[in-house]
Structure 1
């Protein structure tokens, strides 16, 4: 019998409705617990959702970027320790200090509870505190944030470029920390980007793919697909997600576009929407439950992933698990995830994107073919398999491989 591990899974923020980090923490922790491990999630605000069998320990920060009062000045009583000052001064200087501040809080917390855990698993925080936990530590890098920074810098100049550089000042820290920790990542494309951007040695990076939650994202034959409906997910209105490219392409598509996300005032999507005009058949929806999102994906004839880079792409995997054909770009890991179960076009090309969407909307036979391929491809991935491979890597780091433990038994 293989023994259980005591795992501290860290996430400096874990919003379950925005971005993939909260999704990763929830599903990985649940499946690790299902394998018999004791898992405790340590997180900063906004806090992730966790399932039965997983303990959540909240490590409150100042949360200076939260609505309804972002960039607030904290009360003097809140500035009671080093992490709070790091968070406050970093914000005032135009940076994003949460990864560093959270790592200092987590290291302090873990230092008091060192005997309660076997291993610490950092979820792309990569703050300096992760080097001082006093416990074996591994990190997951979904993709290098330098990719986001460079794509953003390509769209701005002058003072705005200086602001972007200040905001992404934490990237240098993340690179330094990653080079000192064993690393998990979610695709070969991310692995190559980590080697290139972060200079992490190749033999220190292990790929463990993600999956859709197949309890919720699944084929639903009772849901009728809405003619002409295309769905896209934009967890952040940033150049990386390519939403503005899709909106430019939409001028050439006759259909209904449903965007899961919120446009940023004055951001790329808002500008592209202004160019489309008031008659564009585009609507934004947000704050959907997983069940609502799954039903929406199942109602679409096409799901579009127009990203300029993806470390994995849960939206593509979730659409495929629902049997919905995908139009995506060739950026990052999308060819690995989608394969021959969708149509792939060059990133940043509105014309190619429009042509691919139109070709699928106008060809029911092709959609049926890709739907079958999508379901077959999605069936090969599961969060349980992700957790098993992650736990195997924990044991390698601890020198406790399943084979050794079975031999001891």
Structure 2
């Protein structure tokens, strides 16, 4: 499967642009895998979910898996070993938590001053800590697998001869562009640019990595364009959905008045504005409608203010930090799930809702069309009227909801399971090791 190397990537990186085959380079032995995540709580976004389920699936495929993570820590299968790599966690604890002994470390000082100046220094600092740890304790691993840290520390690991694989879910340049377009004034744009200053590092690092994998074809093309890489130097291993956990529950009766959205952050990227506006347009016809949000918008944030302006407060219920069992039950109870994102590198909430047998409305942002196919109602991004129209149609038609629910479950079972993803990733690891050992 060799391809012509890119001028901006190492020859080691150019070995497949297609989805890794299940039948090629099957592992000859169990591997010792170390997964890295700079912050990995599953309720904080897709990266934490990816780390949780990929590590579990790799263990079930016969590998030994350690996860090294910064705070907040992941929820892992008991068979996966968690190695905690605590940082200052200033976005949870705040600057007031600083004590003099915290500043005895250069890495801590960098993280602290970054927070003071409005930067996001966690990936860079996590990379520094991981290099120090793995230099002492990491030589027994067959593969080090970075989950989009993309710090200079990853290049140092590569330089020191660690076989390194990096997953890039999607280029954060998309988040930056969407956030800047939504900014209200120059001060807000300045703060947004400062926060995303870590992208300078990510661009430089991504171009020098030998082995990059992503989770969708759309992400592959977008990463290549954003980071000036050749698509041929990026491989695709599709995400999975744990269809044993995310499944229809026989004892749950759907609430015909409940709409659900799993929105992990109040960023313009997630399209919360269009979701809220769309739901508001439907309320006159369905006054008993309830919107369940997995995630809690800040009251003084854009979404919190919009909820008040639209008179939605009494129609919205917010939950956060919930267990997977609760999340599955909420998916099952909902009549319709909406994914309003402007961009997704994959779109795990869409797959989870489909796996639970719930009718889905999804935008066509990013890779979402690859995930949902014809098993969901697709609407254009940034179109609250289209969301409202699709929601009204589904609320009025139980038969259509049932049809989409069945089609969604079938699509996930056939195309997106973690067993398949783990096998494909194992094959990718074997290709990496074969090339590293030449």
> Is 1:362 aligned with 2:390?
no
Is the 2:178–2:269 Cα contact (8 Å) retained in structure 1? Answer: yes
> Is 1:353 aligned with 2:353?
no
Is the 1:238–1:268 Cα contact (8 Å) retained in structure 2? Answer: no
Name stretches of at least 5 consecutive residues in structure 2 with no aligned partner: 1-26
> Is 1:168 aligned with 2:192?
no
Aligned residue number for residue 46 of structure 1: 72
- So what's the TM-score if we normalise by structure 1? 0.94
TM-superposed deviation, 1:252: 1.5
Q: Quote the Cα distance in structure 2 between the aligned partners of 1:166 and 1:180.
A: 24
> Is 1:125 aligned with 2:125?
no
CA-to-aligned-CA distance 1:144-203 (integer Å, 9 cap, x gap):
111111111112221111111111100111111111222111111111110111222211
The partner residue of 1:343 within 377, 382, 394 is 377
Q: Quote the Cα distance in structure 1 between the aligned partners of 2:245 and 2:344.
A: 23
Aligned residue number for residue 8 of structure 1: 34
TM-superposed deviation, 1:395: 1.0
Aligned residue number for residue 11 of structure 2: none
Aligned residue number for residue 134 of structure 2: 110
Q: Quote the Cα distance in structure 2 between the aligned partners of 1:94 and 1:338.
A: 37
Q: Quote the Cα distance in structure 2 between the aligned partners of 1:80 and 1:385.
A: 46
Is the 1:239–1:268 Cα contact (8 Å) retained in structure 2? Answer: no
Number of positions where the alignment pairs a residue of Structure 1 with one of Structure 2 = 400
Q: Quote the Cα distance in structure 1 between the aligned partners of 2:215 and 2:81.
A: 24
Q: Quote the Cα distance in structure 1 between the aligned partners of 2:281 and 2:117.
A: 43
CA-to-aligned-CA distance 1:246-281 (integer Å, 9 cap, x gap):
101112212221111110232221122022115652
CA-to-aligned-CA distance 1:313-371 (integer Å, 9 cap, x gap):
11110110111010010110111111100100100001011000110110112112111
Helix, strand or coil: the match of 1:211? coil
Q: Quote the Cα distance in structure 2 between the aligned partners of 1:301 and 1:375.
A: 15
Q: Quote the Cα distance in structure 1 between the aligned partners of 2:321 and 2:86.
A: 23
- So what's the TM-score if we normalise by structure 2? 0.88
Cα 1:257/1:17, change in 2 over 3 Å? same
Is the 2:307–2:313 Cα contact (8 Å) retained in structure 1? Answer: no
TM-superposed deviation, 1:228: 2.3
Q: Quote the Cα distance in structure 2 between the aligned partners of 1:12 and 1:43.
A: 5
Aligned residue number for residue 375 of structure 1: 409
> Is 1:296 aligned with 2:296?
no
Q: Quote the Cα distance in structure 2 between the aligned partners of 1:21 and 1:334.
A: 16
Q: Quote the Cα distance in structure 2 between the aligned partners of 1:116 and 1:168.
A: 35
Name stretches of at least 5 consecutive residues in structure 1 with no aligned partner: 405-409
Cα 1:63/1:279, change in 2 over 3 Å? closer
Helix, strand or coil: the match of 1:41? strand
> Is 1:23 aligned with 2:71?
no
Deviates more, 1:253-262 or 1:337-346: 253-262
CA-to-aligned-CA distance 1:53-112 (integer Å, 9 cap, x gap):
21111111111111xx42336222112233212211211221000000000100111111
> Is 1:234 aligned with 2:263?
yes
Cα 1:73/1:159, change in 2 over 3 Å? farther
TM-superposed deviation, 1:8: 1.2
Helix, strand or coil: the match of 2:98? coil
Helix, strand or coil: the match of 1:154? helix
Aligned residue number for residue 407 of structure 1: none
Note the aligned Cα RMSD (angstroms): 1.6
Aligned residue number for residue 204 of structure 1: 233
Aligned residue number for residue 313 of structure 1: 347
Helix, strand or coil: the match of 1:301? strand
Is the 2:280–2:312 Cα contact (8 Å) retained in structure 1? Answer: no
Aligned residue number for residue 80 of structure 1: 104
Is the 1:179–1:201 Cα contact (8 Å) retained in structure 2? Answer: no
Aligned residue number for residue 225 of structure 1: 254
Deviates more, 1:317-326 or 1:148-157: 148-157
Aligned residue number for residue 91 of structure 2: 65
> Is 1:391 aligned with 2:417?
no
Cα 1:279/1:85, change in 2 over 3 Å? closer
Q: Quote the Cα distance in structure 2 between the aligned partners of 1:335 and 1:16.
A: 23
Helix, strand or coil: the match of 2:83? strand
Aligned residue number for residue 308 of structure 2: 274
TM-superposed deviation, 1:223: 1.2
Give runs of ≥4 in structure 1 deviating > 4 Å. none
